[in-house]
Amino acid sequence: MGRSERTVVWFRRDLRIDDNPALAAAARDGAVLPVFIWCPAEEGRFYPGRCSRWWLKESLAHLARSLEALGCPLVLIRAQSTLAALLQCVDSIGATRVVYNHLYDPISLVRDDKIKNELLGLGISMQSFNGDLLYEPWEVYDENGLAFTTFNKYWEKCMKLPIEISPFLAPWRLVPVSGIENICSSSIDNLGLESSKDEESSNALLSRAWSPGWRNAEKTLEDFVSHGLLDYSKDRMKVTGTTTSLLSPYLHYGEVSVRKIYQLVRMQQIKWENEGKSGAGESVNLFLLSIGLREYSRYLCFNFPFTHERSLLGNLKHYPWRADEDRFKSWRQGMTGYPLVDAGMRELWATGWTHNRIRVIVSSFAVKFLLIPWTWGMKYFWDVLLDADIESDILGWQYISGCLPDGHELGRLDNPEVQGQKYDPDGEYVRTWIPELARMPGEWIHHPWDAPSSILEVAGVELGFNYPMPIVELHMARECLDDAISTMWQLDTAEKLAELDGEVVEDNLSHIKSFDVPKVVLKELSPSAPRCDQKVPTDNGRNLELQPKELKGTDKQTICVNVIKASKMEDSGSMANSPISRKRSSSGSVFNVPSYSSSVEVRSQNQHPGGYSVGSSGYIVQNAERNCVGKAEDDDSADSCTNTSRASKRPAA
The pLDDT value given to residue 551: 32
Q: Which of 217, 196, 223, 247 is nearest to 386 (CA)?
A: 247
Tell me the average pLDDT across 405-428.
94
pLDDT at 506: 52
Strands 538-539 and 542-543: antiparallel
Find the helix or strand (DSSP H, E) in which 36 lies: strand 30-38
634 is in an annotated binding site: no
Question: CA 319 to CA 594: how far, in whole Å?
Answer: 10
Q: pLDDT-based confidence at 564, cuts 50/70/90?
A: very low
Q: How confident is the model at residue 511 (pLDDT cuts 50, 70, 90)?
A: low
Residue 235, marked binder: no
Residue 382: pLDDT band (50, 70, 90) is very high
Confirm or deny that 340 is annotated as ligand binding: no
> DSSP per residue over 396-450, as a string?
HHHHHHT-STTS--TT--B-HHHHHHHH-TT-HHHHHH-GGGTTS-TTTTT-GGG
pLDDT at 227 over 80: yes
Q: Is 248 annotated as a binding residue?
A: yes
Q: Give the phi and the psi of residue 499 in degrees, each rounded to 5.
A: -70, -20
Domains of the chain: residue spans and CATH: 1-130 (3.40.50.620), 213-301 (1.25.40.80), 323-475 (1.10.579.10)
Secondary structure (DSSP) of 536-591: --EETTEEPPSS-----GGGGTEEEESTT---PPP-----TTSGGGG-B-TT-PBP
Residue 387 annotated as binding site: yes
Mean pLDDT check: name the lowest of 83-97, 205-219, 527-541: 527-541
Q: Tell me what the pLDDT averaged over the chain comes to.
A: 81
Judged against a pLDDT cut of 60, whether residue 358 lies above it is answered with yes
Residue 7 pairs with which residues in a beta bridge?
Answer: 32, 97
Shortest CA distance to 641 belongs to which of 363, 441, 425?
425
244 is in an annotated binding site: yes
Whole-number pLDDT of residue 57: 96
pLDDT at 4: 73
**DSSP helix/strand/coil, 370:** coil
Assess whether pLDDT exceeds 80 at residue 166. Answer: no
**Does the pTM exceed 0.85?**
no
Q: How confident is the model at residue 524 (pLDDT cuts 50, 70, 90)?
A: very low
pLDDT band at 167 (very low <50, low <70, confident <90, very high): low
The pLDDT of residue 144: 87
Confidence of residue 272 (pLDDT cuts 50, 70, 90): very high
Q: Which residue has the higher pLDDT, 345 or 652?
A: 345
- Angle subtended at Cα 71 by Cα 65 and Cα 75, rounded to the nearest 5 degrees: 60
pLDDT classification of 537: cutoffs 50, 70, 90? low
Q: Is 247 annotated as a binding residue?
A: yes
d(CA 71, CA 26): 14
Q: How far apart are CA 267 and CA 131, in angstroms?
A: 21
83 is in an annotated binding site: no
Whole-angstrom distance, CA of residue 573 vs CA of residue 575: 7
Q: Which of 575, 564, 445 is CA-nearest to residue 140? A: 564
Rounded average pLDDT over 586-614: 36
